[in-house]
């Protein structure tokens, strides 16, 4: 109808919110209900307490755990990471890698034994053993390698009895 009209607007502007955080984890990291296994920048959009957009950013670094495996065959015993093992088996060693994450080493170990043997022999005058002829009583050893590639020591306890001769003259 051609008259002045005044409208008043009482306006409240509520701000959106943003946040940024950084995290470093081993293997995976769960953030806002999602598990992440790769490094990267991730965002999560939701509504803040006053009903406006809220965007959170996560700068994530994922460091991997490490594993290694080795197979070893040894004679009698084997020292590994400060422990001496004398039986075949599978052994593990856990520590932290350079990133501070788990590092598990596995050792598949076969232990082969050294062997020893002993024999006692009495012979007349001399005795041949492993390529050597002995003419005196004593204890002798012979070292070689057994079928597993480990030390093999044979011991000979030898007694040498001399032959005797006699002569007689008869008329």
pTM (global) more than 0.75: no
Tens place of pLDDT for every residue, the chain, 171 residues?
Answer: 788 889 999 988 888 999 999 999 999 999 999 999 999 999 999 998 888 999 999 999 999 999 999 999 999 999 999 999 999 999 999 999 999 999 999 999 999 999 999 999 999 999 999 999 999 999 999 999 999 999 999 999 999 999 998 899 998
Question: Rounded to whole angstroms, what are the CA distances from 136 to 46, 126, 140, 156, 159?
Answer: 98, 7, 10, 12, 7
Q: Tell me how far apart the alpha carbons of residues 64 and 96 are, in angstroms, rounded to a whole number.
A: 11
Q: What is the pLDDT of residue 12?
A: 85
CA neighbor of 56 nearest in space, from 20, 94, 102: 20
Strand-pairing partners, residue 161, are 124
């Amino acid at each position: 109808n051609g008259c002045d009209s005044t409208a008043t607007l009482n306006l409240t502007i509520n701000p959106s919110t943003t946040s940024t955080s950084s995290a470093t984890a081993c293997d995976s990291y769960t953030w806002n209900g999602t598990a992440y296994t790769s490094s990267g920048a991730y965002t999560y959009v939701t509504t803040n307490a006053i009903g406006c957009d809220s965007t959170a950013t996560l700068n994530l670094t994922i460091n991997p755990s490490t594993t290694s495996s080795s197979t070893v065959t040894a004679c009698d015993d084997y020292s590994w990471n400060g422990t001496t093992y004398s039986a075949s088996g599978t052994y593990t060693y856990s520590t932290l890698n350079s990133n501070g994450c788990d590092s598990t080493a596995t050792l598949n170990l076969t232990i082969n034994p050294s062997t020893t043997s002993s024999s006692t022999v009495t012979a007349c005058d001399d005795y041949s053993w492993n390529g050597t002829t002995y003419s005196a009583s004593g204890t002798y050893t012979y070292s070689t390698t057994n079928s597993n590639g480990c030390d093999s020591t044979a011991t000979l306890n030898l007694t040498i009895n001399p032959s005797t001769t006699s002569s007689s003259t008869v008329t």
